[in-house]
Structure 1
Amino acid sequence: MKTIRTSRLSQAVRSALLLAMLPAAVSAQEASDEGITTLDRIEVTGTRIKTSEAEGLVPVQRITREDIDRSGLTSVADVVQALSGSGSALNTKFNSSGNFGFPPDGSGVGAGSAQADLRHLGAKRVLVLVDGIRWVNEASASGVGAATDLNTIPLAIIERIEVLEDGASSLYGSDAIAGVINIITRKDFDGISINAQYGEYGEGDGATSTIDFAWGGGNDRVNYFLGLSYTDQDVIYSRDREQSSFPVPGTGVAFGSSGTPTGRFIITDPNTGVTFDITPNDGANDPVYDPTQTGCVRTDDYHCFATADRFNFSQYNLLLTPSERMGAFGQVRFNFTDTVTGYAKVLYNKRESTNQAAPEPLFFGPEAGTGNPQADGIFISALNPFNPFGFDLVSADDPNTPENELTLLLIGRRPVEGGPRVFEQEVDTWYVGGGLEGVFDAGNKSLFWDVNVAFSENEAEQTNYGSYNIRNIALALGDPAACAAVAGCTPLNIFGGPGTITPEMLAFISPVVRDRSQNKLSLITANLSGSLFDMPAGSVDFATGLEYRELEGWYQPDPITVAGDYNGVPSLPTAGEYDVTEAYFEVNFPLMADSAWGKKLDFTVAGRYSDYSTGIDEFTPKYGLRWQVVDELVLRTSYAEGFRAPSIGELFGSDSRFDAQLDDPCSTPVDPALTGNCAALGVPPGYSQPNPQISVTTGGNDQLEPEFSESWSTGFIWSPSFMENTDIADRVDFEVTYYQHEIEGAIQAIDAQTQLDLCVETLDPLYCSGITRAPTGGINGFNNRLTNLGVINTSGWDVDLFWNFPETKVGQFGVSWRNTFVTEYEAFGAAGQQQPQGPGIEVVDSAIPEWTSNFTTDWSLGGWTAAWTMRHISELREDCGNAVSFPVCSNPATSTNILEAITYHDLQVSYRFADLHDLRLTLGVNNVADEDPPICLSCSLNGYDASTYDIPGGRFFYLRADMRF
């Protein structure tokens, strides 16, 4: 695992020196705002050195307050996810409770949260800072999260957001493999500001209301700021949009669920030996079963189950989840002397959100594949007064009646009488921080120092209505005498149509499930920065510091879940903690200044040593070169090694489960080349997979090693002087950056579909040992554990243009055009098996577009301003899977569906009334062209990729008023 790091260390140093002649990365936005060398003693993301020479060593994108207001968005995550370099991440457009289950990393589903992904490397590989200090990870109420919920940070308190899209473990420690998001809060704010916004979709739904209050002021000694924020986002149901109103868009209920309100029964009659796959006729609430009828043409109250009988679960799902967020933030800064300042900060944020899924299905029998032995091995007594078949329904795994023959393969009954599953989250976040900072002279040099302490906590509780107790269900379906001996037990009728499960039956089987989790972060840091000594080309500047932090997390599911009695996704408690002590340094050496080779050449080296109580002991270096060839041209390059320590959930996460949509290669029709292998796995000829939803067991692994990474970026920024202050431009900046990330030992589980396919293709125990099958051939066990996988490689280009036009009689225009091109993305398992992700591919509710682009033109004249933004996402392709025979699969011959390229247009116009307390009224429309997201066949539940496209589609109108006093 460490070979990649140690064997390439010396090579990296040599490469860094050679790469001085190559273009390298620098932030065009910073160059545009500040000039190339005008920064004076402030700290920027990407370096700890508080000097102008250190700026721009790596690409840092700055999102200003004006950029945030221009977007019309009301969430930090939505703003960051709109960047061209962002990848797929959780947001409030994911209806993520219910069937999402528990991811292998022990983080839970994060229902209602919103995260950020950079370079498509995952949210847990992005470090979130607030004013340069780590922010607490989320508590999802279903696990111990490894990523930050950006909904815990109110948008109203933000001055700007700085996004570093480069490896930064040497500067900031673990989790910064893909980059850093540093949120800078408002400090120098004078007066009162009230901001209110209301928006909704063209269909009249999805209303979002926000109101923000800001108050600040101060004098030479003290400075204070208070921010209050409230956001309320309304629900949009899947049934309210044509595309999401069916499980597979355009196919009706073709791929709906086999858990239906009337029930699906795959049983073997012990009297005849005939196996049936039948369902009651509509209206047959007390169906009569005739054992003498053996075909599908029947005269009793049943017919053979067919596609048309499947249940349309989409009618109950949500496209946009309701979310209410309230936040309060205050900070005060006090100048004790001219050289020493103290500060204190406090934040409280509360989120109340809701997810909803279709009524929870009851699946019984060996073909159910739920992973719950009480369901897979259930016994339904012939004495149950509602059992129409006249014989015991016995599962193959029933330990109580091993002498009986198998009579039950699968029952799927959805008790719509109990209503939908509703998951309500309450999430509270606390942050308290304080510190001292100052400057002192050492000889003729000034040294800057700061000491910081912070305590933060994120606690979540999720209450689930509409789920069921499988132990009570088994009791109510068994011998009525045993049921009568238990208080409240009423024999259960799962054999009739909707309405046959009475309120008394529901009262016995319907619990209220409450899950809780918490993440805590405590830290103390001390930093020192300044100049060491002078060299012929300038001063040698440095930064160094110490950091100590403690992380603690736990997850406590409901007692019925712990007992294994929950019919839904099972899980066990998780708890763990660790601490880490770190020391870092960063030094900038001026190698050349004002010579024939150019104006300035600087070499920067940084390193961080980390000592974890879990036994991890690592050093991560970083090297960079900055060559200012002439005033208008700067070249940059950097090389960094990084690591990410396993999270609490990854280390200590207990057994849990998620429900995956898997296509069994051994299901009819079978590839002739796989027939022998399927037989060897115990699959009988003619087997047809009855239920594509397979329960996959996951869990943590305390033997995990850290992930190690190498990151390299190179590029240039060119500000042509011949265009500066001319008739066509005030200033033009052109930036090109090449990036490359390699992660070895990535912590994740192999893609479940890939594992199943490789098992059938190779029969290799490496893939098959975790997959078990029932005697009928169906998958009844799937173990998919965390491990250190092989390698993730990704590379690409950022190409950006910034053009400020001179002011004219018709106003002043500006252009910002950001582009990201992903040229490579490959992920390999520990044994070299390639995962399905790649450029231009949609898979598992996430996409890696080959080209994403944001083009913004802004205009101002007097009190008027306007902006027009185009957001482009290139074409994607996905495997059609079982949808290959339907018209929605664009290329059935290759089983490929094309998600066409899409361009969104956003328009905003505002006017400032200077005489009315600077009242600014803003009217905006996002998605002016009324584009709908392309159909996604492989995406969960709603037929959309909620992390790539505007969901739910359609125009979004908003009106905002901003007044200052």
Structure 2
Amino acid sequence: MNTLHYRPLAAAVALCLLSVPTLATAQDASRTPTDLDRVEVTGTRIKRAEVEGQVPIQTLTRSEIERTGLNSIGEVLQQLTGSGSALNAKFNSSGNFGFPPDGSGVGAGSAQVDLRHLGAKRVLVLVDGIRWVNESSASGVGAATDLNTIPLAIVERIEVLEDGASSLYGSDAIAGVVNIITRREFDGGQVTLNYGEYTKGDGTQKGVDLAWGTSGDRYTLFLGASWTKQDDVKASSREQSRYPIPGTGLSFGSSATPTGRFMFTDPNTGIAYNITPNNGATNPTFNGVGGCDRTDDYHCFTTADRFNFAEYNLLLTPSERKGIFGQFRFDITDNVQWYIKALANRRESTNQAGPEPLFFGPDGATGNPLADNIVISALNPYNPFGFDLDSGSNLSMIGRRPVEGGPRIFEQEVNTTYFATGLTGLFQAADRSWSWDVNGMYSKNKAEQTNFGSYNIYNANIALGDPAVCAATPGCVPLNIFGGPGTITRQMLDWIQPVVRDRSQNELSLFTANLSSDLFTLPAGPVSFATGYEYRKYEGEYQPDPITVAGHYNGVPSLPTSGSYDVNEMYLELAVPIFANSPLGDKLDLSLAGRYSDYSTFGGEFTPKYGLRWQVTNDFVLRTSYAEGFRAPSIGELYGSAARADLQLFDPCSVGLGGTPPRGSAANCAALGVPAGFQQANSQISVTTGGNDQLDPETSRSFSAGFVWSPWFGNNASWSERFDVEVTFYRHNIEGAIQAINAQTQLDLCVDTLDPLYCGGITRASTGAVSGFNNRLTNLGSIKTDGWDVDLFWTFPQSDIGQFKLGWQNTFVGRYEAVGAAGQRQPQEPGVEVTDSSIPEWTSNASLSWNLGNWNASWTVRHISKLTEECGDAAAFPVCSDQVAGTNELAATTYNDFQVGYKFDWMKGLQLSAGLNNAFDKDPPICLSCSLNGYDASTYDIPRGRYWYVRADLRF
């Protein structure tokens, strides 16, 4: 047992039982049902008056969303304590992450949600109970939902089920379900204006939301429009993010520099060189002097020569989103209603990275033979060395950063269209009421990405080769990579620097039919049921630029992807009352559900679910559920073509930057062809990824158990109007998880074991450097996680000083184990940071709200417990907190957010609000394993991230 984990848990439970209550946003199961219309809530298909069930549903109301001061559904959901690492606007992703192995692309500019740290692709996103189309990133066929395709202005509330639900909703609901409920009944108009920025004067956000609705005897109409613009925040504006790894200076900068790094052996003398031109050298000459005591225009390459690419990065990526939405409902008869809904949304976003490096030679490890196997002709007019630089004999590596071409800029344009229509109704038969609905939906997410600042390595190869060949090639101009910054001319750039255009799209077509009623009555009450049929068709494609397909692109190569599949499903859900008003308790209900899915790609799958809800007393409820689930392989996972991710990997056979000996066994490294004293020249290693059409579905087992306590003495008492406690234990086991083994883990295991299972996809050049890395998708062994949610809520009585509400939500992760198919343990676990993703042992949100007349205010505290990470090669630097153990501690972090508002009685109401997020300007802890900007962008606010905002909301 992890005592460090369970001690804070015990303390939290003790506080629950002694004093403090449950989060208001949870739908607790002990609340007395009212005479509501029969409705369907997330977590059950049975329409009923009671809104509680066997699993906790967290509901975020519109007022609670507005209290965050955030303008994106994704950002709101990422602040939930049960959320894990997911893409958002703080990921400056395009030029740095490469392609993930699931074929989805980098999702640049998107916002996703991850529940229970199981990945965004294992969360099902619904809108009004119906699936939403997967994202399209213009770099792959996505398997997750981009929440930026749904304007926040159209949201009435968000219901979050953090439990497996495949039996009710089908594939992808392994980790949970997010159901976004749109605004429907609205009379009058509303204009909302918002503006905010960081106190550093950057990152400005502004937006306008419009809403209008009307209704008649037989119809309702709602129209909404939204515009949101987010300006960027540059990494260079924050001290923590000015270098690749804070506190190490240029040590982890790039060896591809504006002046160039040249590693070769002189074929005439046999002397090996690792040199760079002196600053200011515009026409260097070479006199063959060896060693580091040089007298020519070169000096031996050192750490001080490395290039700081981090200052070109963005801490916050700019975007502009525009969306319109309409919903019309018409009562054909008293018992039949027709609806139609439509949405159009457009996102324009930008990522930026440092000027693209050119690496040549086997130690460049680009994976592109045009670069790795290059021959730079002695006849090239700019080659100062007088002999060929041949990858097959004397060239190890050349790294040149053409700053003349500017930074890499990736511009995305993502268009989402959505159309749905259907009928809902009631009818009477067999002395009971029957609810039914039929629905049809079509949605498309289409993306285009334009890349400025990358290079055509095929053209560069010609320009560096025989001048006669270049002269015979229309448009070719000999290329100067030897002369330092400013020596690559506009004519040279015109030959080697194209504009790269990629596109992709995802489409979803869907039809559903559902029926719900009571079957018969038992002594304890009616047996209710829901049943239905669903048909879905997925279509997706990714088309990279022709130069990428041809293998001429210097950046991340990839091939086209396209595919489709469909599924037919049927489900049945039963709610069976066992007893009522019994000596054993007020009520005991059993829930049973099962769903059969028939996929065109792999066949059939059945998933059951069982739940119990025991109302022990009027104020105490016990509940538990067990569910089996699955996730079908996505189009990208099945059909994604070979692509590449450039990852920061530390070779265990390499001498450390500080001269530390290699971690790997000398004998094993020698067996792999690595010479003694080898030092990794380029820590950015290209890893090839790709889909696998032989993948099986992931399968899962989910279990939850807990209680809800609303003690009688805390309701309508002198000290409390409402007092609740909710505690839930959760456990998820996933078998055959679809992912690639962690690349660093694979490299380490290859060196440690020499096992072909790990080494088979890794090749090394004659110098010993990793020159090829194949890391394909497979069905891994398992992912197992469990933990506790402890939620509390306290509504104080109304008094002369107003009314206060206190909510406290906590998630404790007790276990997280990911194991490969051959038993290899992946590095993720509670309390550990691993390359831009973390699993804190404890996350907590506490909110205190206050209302007095027209005034309102709130104070929210967000807490993330401490984490540890491997320092890697940064262990030699003081920024690594434990240099002996080689680990770094990311200290516990707490953010404070404040908001105050006043409502004027003008027209239907004018609400003015002002807020300050991260009020005390808390910086995120330095992360040494994170690939961008020195911190984990999925877990923390940006450095120097104090943010103020104002909002005006007028109703008329």
Q: TM-score, normalised by structure 1?
A: 0.96
What is the distance in 1 between the residues matched to 2:643 and 2:663? Answer: 35
* Residues 105-161 of structure 1: CA deviation (Å, up to 9, x unaligned): 000000000100000000000000000000000011000000000000000000000
Instruction: Give the counterpart of 2:298 among 298, 302, 306.
Output: 302
Relative to 1, partners in 2 of residues 1:939 and 1:473: Cα closer, same or farther, differing over 3 Å? Answer: same
Task: Look up the SS of the partner of 1:431 in the other structure.
Answer: strand
Residue-by-residue CA offset, 1:346-390 (whole Å, 9 max, x unaligned): 000000000000000000000011000000000100000100111
Superposed counterparts of 1:80-159, under 5 Å: 80-159=77-156
How far has the Cα of 1:288 moved from its partner?
Answer: 1.3
Look up the match of 2:207. Answer: 210
Match in the other structure for 1:459: 446
What is residue 22 of structure 1 aligned with on the other side? none
Partner SS for 1:564: coil
Identity %: 68
Shift of 1:917: 3.7
- Shift of the alpha carbon at 1:38? 6.1
Match of 2:347 in 1: 351
1:916 shift after superposition = 4.7
**2:678 pairs with one of 684, 687, 691:** 687
Matching of residue 888 in structure 1 with residue 875 in structure 2? no
Q: Which moved more, 1:481-490 or 1:646-655?
A: 481-490
For 2:707, which of 705, 712, 716 is the aligned residue? Answer: 716
State the distance in 2 between where 1:37 and 1:191 align: 28
Q: Deviations over 1:885-942 (max 9, x none)?
A: 1111011010011100011000000000013541111010000111011100110121
Q: 1:54: how far off?
A: 6.7
Residue pair 2:30, 2:708 contacting (<8 A) in 1 also: no
1:639 equivalent in alignment to 2:639: no
2:308 equivalent among 299, 309, 312? 312
Q: 2: distance between equivalents of 1:115 and 1:954?
A: 21
Q: Partner letter of residue 64 of structure 1? A: T
Q: Which amino acid aligns with 1:371?
A: G
| Secondary structure of the structure 2 residue equivalent to 1:891 | coil
Give the whole-Å Cα distance in 2 for the aligned partners of 1:102 and 1:37. 51
Match of 1:434 in 2: 421
Please give the alpha-carbon distance, in whole angstroms, between the structure 1 residues aligned to 2:630 and 2:567. 14
**Residue 925 (structure 2) pairs with residue 937 (structure 1):** no
Answer whether contact 2:58 2:160 (CA < 8 A) is retained: yes
Match status 1:734 vs 2:725: yes
After superposition, residues 20-99 of structure 1 pair within 5 angstroms as: 29-31=26-28, 35=32, 40-52=37-49, 55-99=52-96
Q: Which moved more, 1:613-622 or 1:448-457?
A: 613-622
> Partner of 1:715: helix, strand, or coil?
strand
Work out whether residues 789 and 830 of structure 1, in 8 Å CA contact, stay in contact via their aligned partners in 2.
Answer: yes
Equivalent position of 2:337 in the other structure: 341
The secondary structure found in structure 1 opposite 2:396 is strand
Alpha-carbon shift at residue 99 of structure 1 (Å): 2.1
The question of whether the paired residues in 1 share the 8 Å contact of 2:23 and 2:792 is answered with no
State which of 540, 544, 569 in structure 2 corresponds to 1:582. 569
Match of 1:767, SS state, is helix
- Partner of 1:367, secondary structure, is helix
**Runs of 5+ unmatched residues, structure 2:** 1-21
2-structure distance, mates of 1:136, 1:53 = 30
Structure 2 match to 1:852: 843
Equivalent residues in 2 for 1:468-617 (5 A)? 468-617=455-604
In 2: Cα distance, 1:541 partner to 1:187 partner: 27
SS in structure 2 opposite 1:892?
Answer: coil
Distance in 2 separating the partners of 1:37 and 1:126: 31
The answer for the alignment partner of 1:19 in structure 2 is none
Contact preservation (8 Å) 1:54, 1:588: no
Equivalent residues of 1:26, 1:60 under 8 A apart:
no
Residue equivalent to 1:800? 791
SS across alignment from 2:168: helix
**Structure 1 residue 29: deviation in Å?**
2.3
Return the alpha-carbon distance in structure 2 between the equivalents of residues 795 and 672 of structure 1.
33
Give how far 1:615 is off. Answer: 2.4
**Whole-Å separation in 2 of the counterparts to 1:885 and 1:559:** 44
Check whether the contact 2:23–2:791 (CA below 8 A) recurs between aligned residues: no
Task: Find the residue that maps to 1:243 and give its secondary structure.
Answer: helix
Helix, strand or coil for the counterpart of 1:714?
A: strand
Return closer, same or farther for 1:821/1:153 CA change in 2, 3 Å cut-off: same
Whether contact under 8 Å (2:138, 2:447) holds in the other structure is: yes
Per-residue deviation, residues 825-848 of structure 1 (Å, max 9, x unmatched): 000000000000000000020000
Report the Cα distance in structure 1 between the residues aligned to 2:246 and 2:408, rounded to whole angstroms: 22
Separation (CA, whole Å) in 2 of partners of 1:37 and 1:468: 65
Structure 1 segment 121-270 matched on structure 2, within 5 A: 121-270=118-267
Match of 1:703 among 694, 709, 726: 694
**Long gaps (5+) in structure 1:** 1-24, 397-405
What is the identity, as a one-letter code, of the residue corresponding to 1:796? G
Letter in 2 for 1:332: F
Q: Is the 8 A contact 2:653 2:663 kept in 1?
A: no
Match of 1:282 in 2: 279
Q: Provide the rounded CA distance (Å) in 1 between the counterparts of 2:319 and 2:50.
A: 44
How far did residue 315 of structure 1 move? 1.1
Structure 1 position 923 matched with structure 2 position 914: yes
Secondary structure of 1:561's match? helix
Aligned-residue Cα RMSD (Å) equals: 1.2
Please, which of 933, 942, 949 is the counterpart of residue 951 of structure 1? 942
Question: What SS does the corresponding residue of 2:608 show, helix, strand or coil?
Answer: strand
Structure 2 contact 377–387 (Cα < 8 Å) conserved? yes
CA distance in 1 between counterparts of 2:108 and 2:214 reads: 38
Amino acid at match of 2:191: I
Is 1:416 the equivalent of 2:403?
yes
Q: Secondary structure at 2:728's aligned position in 1?
A: strand
**Residue 952 of structure 1: CA displacement?**
3.9
The alpha carbon displacement at 1:642 in A equals 0.1
Question: 1:456-515, CA deviations, whole angstroms, 9 ceiling, x for partnerless residues?
Answer: 000000000000001100000001111001111111000011000000100100100000
Q: 1:753 maps to which residue? A: 744
- Check 1:26–1:540 CA distance in 2 against 1; reply closer, same or farther (3 A cut): farther
SS in 2 for 1:68: helix
Question: Match of 2:416, as an amino acid?
Answer: T
Q: Aligned AA for 2:105?
A: G
Distance in 2 of aligned mates of 1:844 and 1:900: 17
Cα shift at 1:57: 1.6
CA distance in 2, matches of 1:787, 1:92: 30
Q: TM-score, normalised by structure 2?
A: 0.96
Tell me the SS of whatever aligns to 2:364. Answer: coil
- Partner amino acid, structure 2, of 1:233: Q
Contact preservation (8 Å) 1:552, 1:576: yes
How far off is 1:672 after superposition? Answer: 7.3
Q: How much has 1:251 moved relative to structure 2?
A: 2.0
The CA distance in 2 between the partners of 1:132 and 1:248, in whole Å, is 44
Distance 1:917 1:64 in 2: 20
Shift of 1:250: 1.8
How many Å separate the matches in 1 of 2:885 and 2:663? Answer: 18
Specify the code of the residue in structure 2 equivalent to 1:942. Answer: N
Residue correspondences, number: 931
* C-alpha distance in 1 between matches for 2:711 and 2:70: 34
Per-residue deviation, 1:287:
1.1
Q: Conserved in 1, the CA contact under 8 Å of 2:30 and 2:618?
A: no
Give me the whole-angstrom Cα distance separating, in 2, the residues matched to 1:94 and 1:152.
17
Task: Name the CA distance, whole Å, in 2 between partners of 1:115 and 1:355.
Answer: 17
Deviates more, 1:200-209 or 1:945-954: 945-954
Once the two structures are superposed, residues 501-539 of structure 1 have per-residue CA deviations (whole angstroms, 9 ceiling, x without a partner) of 000100100100000000000000000011110000000
